[in-house]
Chain A
Amino acid sequence: AKEKWTMTTTWPENLALIEIDRHWVELANKLVGDELEINFRAGGTLMPGTEVFDATETGSIEAAGDWPGYWAGRSSAFSPLATTTSLFNGVDYLNWIQQWGGFELYQEVYGKYNMVYLPYGITNNESGFMGRTPIKNLADLDGKRVRLSGRDQGRVLEELGGSQVTIAGGEIYQAIERGVIDAGEFSTPGVDYQAGFAEVAKYWATPGWHQSASVFGVMINKDAWDELSKETQEKLKIAADANLAWSLSWSERGSTDGAVKFEEAGVEISQFSDSDLARIQDITNEVIVRGACEDKMHAKVYHSMISYMENYANWRDISAPFNMSRTIDNLPSLAKIEKCL
């Protein structure tokens, strides 16, 4: 091969999410032929997962799979590129990325760090809260300690009367087991089951409103990208597009199998009521506007996302119940976000 890339990811070998990266690498290596060979290494083997952004930016490695939310400390705009609290579902992300201008925004945000970004993975709704204390409605959540990541997520939780606990990833399992936290969230049911949560959790509260859908992708060092021919670049994009569709159904399959296993393990599942979810939506809408207005780029991304939601509603709502996304008209105020641009 003409070019040899070293690629790693934020995910360690046995976190199921690494399959998304691996599937893309396989597709890409098959498609590109002789011009490029991607040597993929599991997360943690070359450097800790938290450092792959810096290593790709400097060109120490050519590419790395990621979840954009990990980089929100550099620019909060990375946060909505990764997930939303109670807004997008998986199909919304797919629509927005491919037809409503999302892809370009990824390039704009990552481009500031000398990187090209190919979104190549979407997972739909995360599990929700799991723990040893029953949390069946918002009243139960009051005064509870919940392991939850993200700033918007934490703010919504605080408004609901719970408090956000930060715990090292490796300590979540034991923190649930010993009751250091009342509940915690990690990922989708398939991933959570593999992390052993069914062994320690008794209760599981769905839906995972804190992370209604997630996007994964590959960061590519711009200099390495520019070394490729137009044709090879095109093939990597094709592989990414194919991977997007694959990942959606792959993760839904995994969530289904995971949910069945949690049920078989005797974990008691409860769902937040419609009125609880409506209240969460009201709070979320305020929190999103507040967060977006703290940073111009952040506001720009949300402006695009909410504009899509409003536009898509024209067709989505009249095609119900055969529509692909949630029919929702209670959105964060587009006008307020516009003022922050």
Chain B
Amino acid sequence: MNAIAKAIDTLNDVFGRIIAPLIAIITIIVLYDIALRFFIDRPSDWAFDITKMLFGAHFMLMAAYGLRHHVHVEVDVIKRLLSLRKQAILDVIGYLIFFTPFMWMLLSLGWSFFMRSFSRGETTYGMMSIPVYPVKGVIFIAAVLILLQGIAIFIRAVQQLREERT
């Protein structure tokens, strides 16, 4: 079991490190658009839409990496006072009650949301037709990665419970 948790950690680490630099690309695109407008009075046809799409993809795809590194906001006022065993119990309950339904929703509805866009070849409707379905598909991919990381956390919590018992 531990090997599975470790493999998930590694996967999300690698993936997060690949996605993170998108934030720099977003910056460069916005600056490029400003520069075009300022210097040659010809703003770019694609910068606005691409910036928005990369932004949406970036933070969603970083979410699993964030979960792996405990960056997501949680209020541990009470949890910190408890024993490791009780903390593990809270984790197990929390991941079952809140996390699982949310991920189920993101996965099932996220997939059909993507398919509705993909099957029609949905694009932006500006001067350029930029496909919209990749960024819509991001919800599903992000959900898979977050779910995997949740499974890793869940495995460790269960292991914690077992160790305490023996």
Contacts and interface: CB of A to CB of B under 8 A. Distances in A.
Interface of A: 54, 57-58, 72-76, 79, 143-145, 150-151, 154-155, 158, 163-167, 180
A76 B123 CA distance: 10
B21 interface: no
Given A164-B127, A167-B48, 8 more contacts: A58-B116, A73-B124, A76-B125, A150-B125, A151-B125, A164-B43, A165-B43, A180-B37
A33 B43 CA distance: 54
Nearest to B43: A165
A155 B125 CA distance: 12
B163 interface: no
A79 B127 CA distance: 13
Interface string B119-131: 0101111110100
For A76, A143, A144, A163, the residue with the greatest tally of chain B CB atoms inside 10 Å of its CB is A163
B42 interface: yes
A308 B126 CA distance: 28
A144 B123 CA distance: 27
B126 A54 contact: no
Contacts of A144: 41
Contacts of B113: 54
Nearest to A73: B125
Given A73-B132, A151-B126, A163 B42 contact: yes
Nearest to A78: B125
Contacts of A143: 41
A31 B17 CA distance: 60
A76 B126 CA distance: 11
Interface in B88-141: 112-113, 116, 120, 122-127, 129, 132
Interface string B26-56: 0000000000010001110100110000000
A165 B127 CA distance: 10
A163 B43 contact: yes
Nearest to B120: A74
B37 A165 contact: yes
Contacts of A154: 126-127
Nearest to B136: A54
Interface residues of B, number: 19
B125 A79 contact: yes
Interface in B36-88: 37, 41-43, 45, 48-49
Contacts of A155: 127
A57 B115 CA distance: 13
Interface-central residue, A74, A76, A79, by most chain B CB under 10 Å: A74
Interface of B: 37, 41-43, 45, 48-49, 112-113, 116, 120, 122-127, 129, 132
Contacts of A167: 48
Given A74-B120, A75-B120, A166 B41 contact: no
B123 A166 contact: no
A112 to B, nearest CB: 8
A145 B37 contact: yes
22 contacts: A57-B116, A58-B116, A72-B125, A73-B125, A74-B122, A79-B125, A143-B41, A144-B41, A145-B37, A145-B41, A151-B126, A151-B127, A155-B127, A163-B41, A164-B43, A164-B126, A165-B37, A166-B43, A166-B48, A166-B49, A166-B126, A167-B48
A58 B45 CA distance: 32
B116 A145 contact: no
B30 to A, nearest CB: 13
Contacts of B37: 145, 165, 180
Q: Which 5 A-B pairs have the closest CB atoms?
A: A166-B48, A72-B125, A73-B125, A154-B127, A73-B123
A144, A158, A166: most-surrounded residue (chain B CB, <10 A) = A166
Contacts of B45: 164
Contacts of A145: 37, 41, 43
A80 to B, nearest CB: 13
B35 to A, nearest CB: 14
A222 B121 CA distance: 22
Contacts of B116: 54, 57-58
Quick one: which of B113, B126, B129 has the most chain A CB within 10 A?
A: B126
Contacts of A75: 120
Contacts of A165: 37, 43
A101 B152 CA distance: 60
A58 B49 CA distance: 25
Contacts of A58: 112, 116
Nearest to B48: A166
